[in-house]
Amino acid sequence: MKKVLKNNLILMIFLLAFVQTHAQEFSIGPKIGISQGNISVNGTDFSKGNEKLGYHAGLFARLGGNRIYIQPEVLYTNTGGEFQNSQGNNTITYTASFDRIDIPLMGGFKIARVFRVQAGPVATFIIDSEFSSGNAPGSFDPDYNSTTLGYQAGIGLDIANMILDFKYEGALGKHAESIAGFATDQRQNQLMLSLGIRLF
């Protein structure tokens, strides 16, 4: 995973240098938004539970031309979700919450100078997490991976100096491999709606 993140960082630096050299547009500014997160779990007797409302805030930059652009971002993100484990007649609900630093690198294509489609990788660094097992006895804190890689894809609108983004985020790797001794493939997904303000 560290090798993948290193390669993505090197690729980001080269792309930024190339696009900035040929850029007709450069802008930077703050970005805030809300998200609806959920946790998908593949494992025996596990199922997805309720979504969690989250938020994110940070900075973005836009570099590119009249049609093609790249948009790197650095965001503080709070997200999470619920999932359930059925054991006989009992159902245990687990709730997870994550504080993360996300670094998406979006590549996009403009249509009619207002509408955009975009997609790209996102590196995620978990800085804190909370996990509760509801009505389950004892404590079963998962050993979450501190670094994961995912992807984002969505659409956007440019209105004056505002940018509006609506994106889906999915995980390319596991966040945890077991819960309470049960093998699982646990991944974080979210829908994101955000507003950015171009300062220049």
Pairing of strands 68-87, 46-64: antiparallel
Q: Which of 11-20, 35-44, 56-65, 77-86 is the least confident region?
A: 11-20
Residue 159 is predicted with a pLDDT of 93
Q: How much is the average pLDDT of 139-153?
A: 80
Which sign, positive or negative, has the C-alpha torsion 108, 26, 10, 103? Answer: negative
Q: How far is the C-alpha of 89 from the C-alpha of 46, rounded, in Å?
A: 14
If you ran DSSP here, which 8-state letter would residue 63 be given?
E
Mean pLDDT, all residues of the chain = 81
Query: What is the pTM for the complete model shown?
Result: 0.79
Higher pLDDT, 141 or 148: 148
Banded model confidence at residue 133, pLDDT cuts 50, 70, 90: confident
Looking up tokens 């998908």 gives 40
More confident residue, 96 or 3: 96
pLDDT (mean) for 68-84: 90
6: burial class by Cβ within 10 Å (0-12, 13-18, 19+)?
A: exposed
Q: Are 109 and 65 in contact (CB under 8 A)?
A: no
The gap from C-alpha 122 to its chain's centroid, in whole angstroms, comes to: 6
Under a CB-based contact definition with an 8 Å cutoff, are residues 194 and 32 in contact?
yes
User: Any bridge partners for residue 182, and if so which?
Assistant: 179
